[in-house]
Structure 1
Amino acid sequence: MSTLVVVGSQWGDEGKGKITDLLSEEADIIIRYQGGCNAGHTVVKGDKQFIFHLIPSGILHKGVKCLIGNGVVVDPESLLQEIENLKKKNIEIDDNLFIDFKAHVVLPYHKTLDEIKEMKRGKDKIGTTKRGIGPAYVDKIARTGIRMIDLIDEKFLPKKLENNLNEKDTIFKKLYRLKISNQEKKDILKKYKKYGQLLKKYVIDVSLYLNRAINENKKILFEGAQGTLLDVDHGTFPYVTS
């Protein structure tokens, strides 16, 4: 193995997690390159069960470097919970996990939008997980999203997040008759500033890291999420994932 990509050719749940876990034993680096915490798989090692949503399952193998690429939308709360759960089971995280600084961040208003839109579809619901993945990608394409590099910047984050919260508040009021209170805005900012500082040590330039690894002939495994038929362009639209 030099470089391998694991993808699903159906609607997900094809057993990618098991294949990825088996191939992880031979890899130097594993990268999760798309999707969000709406994906997931379970790995059993010995008498312990591990559930993964964002972190590559290769983290269970000693010395394997696990990367979260810029194509992933990161829910900091979910990621930190995953890190904590793995550490409780004595899995080494801090030297083996890295997140690209360009990866976009899922925020509470993304989840709210996801839930509202799904509810308003009525009988035409598309089955979203309501984790805010789609709305986070919308903000990415609209160039208004918050990236990991923004999240870890204590000086820049407050202004950027305040602008986004005010914009979403306007949308909620006009379209859905909802409101983000000033207290909610303060709570979100406080919470996400904390998330940024907790995740700061993991944030790197993943593209640069991978280029160097390729030059050093490292064995790299790309871990896909969902499946081909859930792809926005090639899947069973609109019953696809963002």
Structure 2
Amino acid sequence: MSKCISLLGLQWGDEGKGKLVDFLSKDIDAAVRYQGGHNAGHTLIVGKDKIIFHLLPSAIYHKNIKCFIGRGVVVSLEALFQEIKEASNLIGDVKERLIISSAFSLIQSYHIKIEQLREMSKSQVTIGTTGKGIGPAYEDRVGRRSIRVVDLYSPSLLEDKLKEALSFYNFQFKNYFNSDEEDLSNLLDRNLELAEDLRPYVGNVIQELRKLQDNNKNILFDLKNDMLIFTP
């Protein structure tokens, strides 16, 4: 029978979850990153090399383990590609072992900008965010404005959704923060460019996990944030 193990920290972080992932890796066949963004991560030290996985499951270091990024994660593609590059330099090509969901939401430049402007504004209560756009990306997910991976492969739909998002954000940039508006053309071109680099990794994560379960494989669900972070 397949075992599904969920690893989570019960404090504020830095409990050593990365070490536990490494310990459990000898008994698992797959690892899943399923929530959060690139504001938290696990640090791996391999010989003299050090790498921090913010988006990739840290079990990807073990070449026998298949890794997934699920739909609950919000992702900066620039951050993801940088991490894939660093991981590949350290452990070799990960393309055959990494599958990402077509349904996760993408962090856009306007998410980063609005979060940083909010933090700098004297009229807003600061909360000490990392300024990486993760919170606003989740706001868009709830508000049904988010750009998902699947949207990247329908250029006309992508353009329409970016227009809708920019009408929401540019109004705030101009009227609330006296800041420059984001340009639709540049944003569209950048998304379409990144889409082609992303294509080899996109798959049906739910379907793949179901296959692993049917074949009695063990799956680790790797939580990057910790429980008390979410406690008021």
Interval of TM-score (by shorter of Structure 1 and Structure 2): over 0.9
Q: CA deviation at 1:121?
A: 5.8
CA distance in 1, matches of 2:217, 2:132: 34
Q: CA deviation at 1:99?
A: 0.8
Q: Does 1:191 align with 2:190?
A: yes
Indicate conservation of the 8 Å contact 1:153/1:196, yes or no: no
Count the aligned residue pairs.
Answer: 231
CA distance in 2, matches of 1:4, 1:211: 15
Tell me whether 3-12 or 133-142 shows the greater mean CA deviation: 3-12
Q: Does 1:143 align with 2:144?
A: yes
CA distance in 1, matches of 2:46, 2:156: 42
| Matched residue, 1:206 | 205
Q: Does 1:216 align with 2:224?
A: no
Indicate conservation of the 8 Å contact 2:7/2:223, yes or no: yes
Q: For each residue in 1:123-181, what CA deviation from the matched residue of structure 2 results, as whole angstroms up to 9, or x when unmatched?
A: 95321000000000000000110011112434432232233223311222222222325
Q: CA deviation at 1:122?
A: 7.5
| Matched residue, 2:67 | 66
TM-score (norm 2): 0.93
Q: CA RMSD in A?
A: 1.8
CA distance in 2, matches of 1:121, 1:58: 42
Tell me whether 9-18 or 153-162 shows the greater mean CA deviation: 153-162
| Matched residue, 1:107 | 108
Call closer, same or farther: CA 1:25–1:122 in 2, change over 3 Å. farther
Q: Does 1:88 align with 2:89?
A: yes
Partner letter of residue 146 of structure 2? G
Call closer, same or farther: CA 1:124–1:175 in 2, change over 3 Å. closer
Q: Which 5+ residue runs of structure 1 have no aligned equivalent? A: 238-242
TM-score (norm 1): 0.89
Mapping for residues 162-173 of structure 1, pairs under 5 Å: 162-173=163-174
Indicate conservation of the 8 Å contact 1:3/1:220, yes or no: yes
Partner letter of residue 53 of structure 1? H
Q: Percent identity?
A: 38
Q: Which 5+ residue runs of structure 2 have no aligned equivalent? A: none
| Matched residue, 1:9 | 10
Tell me whether 222-231 or 15-24 shows the greater mean CA deviation: 15-24
| Matched residue, 1:240 | none
Runs of 4+ in structure 1 displaced over 3 angstroms?
A: 121-124, 152-155
Q: For each residue in 1:102-121, what CA deviation from the matched residue of structure 2 results, as whole angstroms up to 9, or x when unmatched?
A: 11000010011111112236
Q: CA deviation at 1:191?
A: 1.5
